[in-house]
Amino acid sequence: MIEVSNLTKRYRGGTAVDDLTFTVEPGRVTGFLGPNGAGKSTTIRLILGLDRPTSGSAMIGGRPYGSIERPLTAVGALLEAGDLHPTRTVREHLRWLARSNGIGERRIGEVLEATGMSGAARKRAKTLSLGMKQRLGVAAALLGDPGVLVLDEPVNGLDPEGVVWIRTLMKRMAAEGRTVLVSSHLMAEMALTAEHLIVIGRGRLLADVPTEAFVASH
Ligand code: ADP
Ligand code: ADP
């Protein structure tokens, strides 16, 4: 479970996240919907301890992300692609992540298999297509077999097959009882993916409702 309480992030120029309070329950896909600039990425960065809130808190399973001992085994995250070492291979990247989290080599083979990346294990990051980078990002998120999955705009730039693949994966993860939070600015995509919606605009909570109820009223 993810608990966000009175979370606020102010920058010099304004307020990106404004007194947000919501919880993300396990067992279903929760969509985090809002237009570009609404504050979704900032909220996700705060949840993942990549940024400090101005006030309020974000907890995962009752703890701040920063105090989780082997974070990859608790939380899998997919952020915008970009933090890949260009000359490292797919397998080397996963091995590098696995090592610091006590995750063994066998699991690397499993996540390569589960993401359809087995054939690309020896490819260098700089030679991967965007779709393959996304799959590698998902493989990294699954490495620790985490109970919580957080994905920031995962379908951006993906081909239709990739979109369906990632949607199916999120639903399966949720059906297994995991907590799944996925952000998007696309209402139609969220209607197909999420059972529950957290909707924000200008950093503020606009709705926290079953997707069906939101779709029916818009
Ligand atoms: P979203 O992910 O919904 O597109 P963001 O969280 O990226 O929205 O951005 C929310 C608002 O915060 C935007 O107005 C953005 O310009 C601003 N913002 C985000 N990061 C920073 C930063 N590091 N410094 C200043 N303003 C920022
Ligand atoms: P199967 O359907 O036979 O389990 P998959 O291709 O779905 O095969 O999975 C292969 C391996 O990838 C599994 O052994 C599992 O460890 C891992 N895996 C698959 N799906 C997930 C998931 N949703 N979360 C974590 N690990 C997964």
pLDDT of res. 187: 94
Residue 8 CA, ligand 2 centroid: distance in Å:
37
From the CA of 118, the nearest ligand is 2
The atom of ligand 2 lying closest to the CA of 172 is: 23
* Among 113, 115, 168, residue to substitute to test ligand 2 (most atoms within 8 Å of Cβ): 113
* Dist CA 184 CA 41 (whole Å): 10
- Tokens at residue 50, please? 């990549």
Residues in a beta bridge with 29: 180
* Dist CA 23 CA 6 (whole Å): 11
* Dist CA 165 CA 162 (whole Å): 5
- Phi–psi pair at 78, nearest 5 degrees: -120, 110
Q: Whose CA is nearest to atom 13 of ligand 1?
A: 37
51 Cβ below 6 A of ligand 2:
no
DSSP 8-state assignment for residue 63: B
Helix 105-114 / helix 130-142 crossing angle, nearest 10 deg: 130
Helix 130-142 / helix 160-175 crossing angle, nearest 10 deg: 10
The atom of ligand 1 lying closest to the CA of 38 is: 3
173 Cβ below 6 A of ligand 2:
yes
For residue 106, CA distances in Å to 93, 94, 112 come to 15, 11, 10
- Sort strands 29-33 and 179-184 into parallel, antiparallel or unpaired: parallel
pTM of the model: 0.87
The atom of ligand 2 lying closest to the CA of 176 is: 23
Tokens 């490819």 sit on residue:
123
User: How far is it between the farthest Cα atoms of the chain?
Assistant: 49
Run of H or E residues at 24: strand 14-24
pLDDT of res. 104: 92
148 Cβ below 6 A of ligand 2:
no
pLDDT of res. 75: 95
Indicate if ipTM > 0.90.
no
Residue-level pLDDT, tens digit, the chain, 218 residues: 999 999 999 999 899 999 999 999 999 999 999 999 999 999 999 999 999 999 999 999 999 999 998 898 899 999 876 678 889 999 999 999 999 888 999 999 999 999 999 999 999 999 998 889 989 999 999 999 999 999 999 988 788 999 999 999 999 999 999 999 999 999 999 999 999 999 999 999 999 999 999 998 88
* Dist CA 172 CA 160 (whole Å): 18
pLDDT of res. 84: 81
pLDDT of res. 82: 62
